[in-house]
Amino acid sequence: MTYPPPPPSDQSGQGGFQYDPYNSQPGSQPQNPSQPQQPGYGPSQPQQPGYGPAPQLPPQAPGYPPAYGAPGYGPQLPKGQAIAAMVLGIIGVGILCLPIPYVSGIISLVCGVTAAILGGVALKKINRGEAAGKGQAITGLVLGIIVCALAIIGIVAAGALLAMFGTAATTSTY
């Protein structure tokens, strides 16, 4: 199936005619004796080029979000790693506050390490433009590092206290 040719360009500046691809109305083609009328549709006509580039959007007013369809305005990319890093950092801080010496320290350490790793990976993806949620990734990374440091200090302190009181209890003589 062939498509009708595009409308002829009117370079003489004397427009005023309407292009009719089916030649059903007399006078719909320009009457120019130097150019012969186009023949009917057939296999002898060459393939016509496609349409040109899309029209450009008008400039955006300052202070408003970009218009629908404007470049750079698309669906937000997923930010699951950034959210997971932030949530694990918050959970690590919460568990660190529990009064169970070794258990809370070890669980907090695991949450902190995971939050720091996920936050770092998410931050790399965000800097490459593959994801969103930079604030959440930074929060997860910072909380993960802080929780790791506090968990290690807590585990060492609990171990030192248990070692000190454990040896003192066994050396007491009655």
Predicted confidence (pLDDT) per residue in 118-173, tens digit: 999 999 999 988 888 999 999 999 999 999 999 999 989 988 988 888 766 566 56
Q: Is residue 153 part of a domain?
A: yes
Q: Is residue 125 part of a domain?
A: yes
Place of tokens 């969103």: 132
- Best mean pLDDT range from 17-31, 48-62, 151-165: 151-165
Angle formed at CA 59 by CA 57 and CA 64, multiple of 5 degrees: 110
pLDDT digits (tens, 9 = 90+) for 67-106: 565 555 544 666 899 999 999 999 999 999 888 878 889 9
Domain count, the chain: 1
Q: Is residue 132 part of a domain?
A: yes
Confidence at residue 129, expressed as pLDDT on a 0 to 100 scale: 86
Q: Is residue 146 part of a domain?
A: yes
Angle formed at CA 46 by CA 45 and CA 52, multiple of 5 degrees: 125
Q: Which pLDDT band holds residue 3 (cuts at 50, 70, 90)?
A: confident
Task: Provide the residue range defining the domain that includes 103.
Answer: 80-168
Please tell me whether the overall predicted TM-score, pTM, comes out greater than 0.85 for this model. Answer: no
Q: Is residue 145 part of a domain?
A: yes
| Whole-angstrom distance, CA of residue 112 vs CA of residue 86 | 10
Mean pLDDT, the chain, as a whole number? 76
In one-letter notation, the amino acid at residue 26 is P
Q: Is residue 48 part of a domain?
A: no
Q: Is 15 exposed, middle or buried (0-12, 13-18, 19+ CB in 10 A)?
A: exposed
Q: Is residue 21 part of a domain?
A: no
Q: Is residue 7 part of a domain?
A: no
| Whole-angstrom distance, CA of residue 123 vs CA of residue 148 | 19
